[in-house]
Homo-oligomer: A and B are copies of this chain.
Amino acid sequence: MRLALIGYGHVGRAFARLLENKHAAYPFRIVGIRTGRHGSAHSERGLPLEPEFGPSEATVEEFLDRSRAEVVFEITPLEPASGEPAIAHIRAAFARGMHVVTANKGPIAHAYAALRDEARNAGVLFRFESTCMDGAPVFNLVRDNLPGVEILGFTGVLNSTSKIVVEALRQGRGMEEGIEEARRMGIAEADASYDIDGWDSAAKTAALANVLMDARVTPMDVERRGIGRLTPERVAELAATRKTVCLVSRARRTASGIKLRVRAEVLEETDILAAVRGTSNLLLFHTDLMGTLGTVSLSPTVGQTAYGLFSDLVDIARAL
């Protein structure tokens, strides 16, 4: 199967390594890579991990045409406010009859319903397991393993940087030190306020609600209150009564529509939401037939995000 990658950062390279390791059992081939800074590379026989890049085609459309890929991977950096240009990249692939896998939450948070319908009309598949929980089964789990179940809402702890920062505050350090630590771990967004103010969680919340509850919202529709005003003193005060603070995403279906919020919540230290520390994350689904159940992922790295792309690819290959 012929693959093309739009974007080739940490996730793209980890994905290429994974494909190389699994080549005997899963003979996929990366025939084209387009990057923002290094240009493009093409090879009919499959590209090496560190290909020689030449000048980029003038447009993504030209790149896709030249690649003649069957599956396109949209893994450019997130542009949180609009989800572009990733949305345009995905549409260009659909228009060429190419299946799409993305790890970019922007398109799912901003334009999922339209993209889902466009994929259907084009007769192609669209997968995005790595967008909200670093590759742990979420969307594929609900689709494959919960037939006939309605998702009534969800509760998630989905942002790592905020947890690192709260832990730093708990140790009496300042918010800036916590952000610096998250940067050293490679998990903070370039603009850390995106994590601290809850925008990252809001984008994930919107994406989850769009896919699992057909919410048709954007991150702007998520009520949002971040951890920006939290102080070491307040965290110490809470710790004295065995409580902590956690940035929690919540969705629920109500009579007046779907309510979405991201809020710094005070939790008992023994709460399962508080037990998810560091880069770990947890997503609980509230359902009609299966009560509350969920997925937990402990200390995921970029390798898991890359695996999420791989599991989407295998899912597409199986469906064809």
> By the criterion CB–CB under 8 Å, are B136 and A141 in contact?
no
- CB-nearest residue of chain B relative to A22? B148
> By the criterion CB–CB under 8 Å, are B141 and A137 in contact?
yes
* Total copies of this chain within the assembly: 2
Which residues in B have their C-beta under 8 angstroms from that of A295? Answer: 293-296
Question: How far, in whole Å, are A46 and B242 apart by their CA atoms in the complex?
Answer: 55
> By the criterion CB–CB under 8 Å, are B298 and A292 in contact?
yes
Tell me, yes or no, whether A172 is within 8 Å of chain B by CB.
no
* A67 CB, min distance to chain B CBs, angstroms: 24
Which residues in B have their C-beta under 8 angstroms from that of A148? Answer: 22, 25-26, 310, 314
* A161 CB, min distance to chain B CBs, angstroms: 19
Which residues in B have their C-beta under 8 angstroms from that of A299? Answer: 291-292
Question: How far, in whole Å, are A50 and B25 apart by their CA atoms in the complex?
Answer: 50
- CB-nearest residue of chain B relative to A21? B289
Tell me, yes or no, whether A117 is within 8 Å of chain B by CB.
no
Chain A residues 278 to 305 lying within 8 A of chain B, measured CB to CB, are: 282, 284, 289-301, 303-304
* A292 CB, min distance to chain B CBs, angstroms: 4
Q: A136-B290, A282-B296, A292-B299 are in contact. Are A269 and B272 (CB under 8 A)?
A: no
Interface size of A as a range: 35 or more
Q: A270-B274, A284-B296 are in contact. Are A147 and B311 (CB under 8 A)?
A: yes
Partner of A291, one of B146, B274, B301: B301
Tell me, yes or no, whether A207 is within 8 Å of chain B by CB.
no
Chain A residues 165 to 205 lying within 8 A of chain B, measured CB to CB, are: none
Q: A137-B141, A292-B298 are in contact. Are A275 and B284 (CB under 8 A)?
A: no
Which residues in B have their C-beta under 8 angstroms from that of A304? Answer: 289-291, 293
> By the criterion CB–CB under 8 Å, are A291 and B296 in contact?
no
- CB-nearest residue of chain B relative to A270? B269
* A79 CB, min distance to chain B CBs, angstroms: 28
* A216 CB, min distance to chain B CBs, angstroms: 23
> Could you list some 28 contacts between A and B, CB below 8 A?
A136-B293, A140-B145, A141-B145, A144-B144, A145-B311, A147-B310, A147-B314, A147-B315, A148-B310, A149-B307, A269-B269, A272-B275, A272-B276, A272-B296, A272-B298, A289-B304, A289-B307, A290-B297, A290-B304, A291-B301, A292-B298, A292-B299, A293-B297, A293-B298, A293-B304, A294-B296, A295-B296, A296-B296
**Can you add 8 more A-B contacts, CB < 8 Å, to A146-B311, A270-B274, A291-B299?**
A136-B293, A140-B144, A148-B314, A149-B307, A289-B303, A290-B300, A291-B301, A295-B296
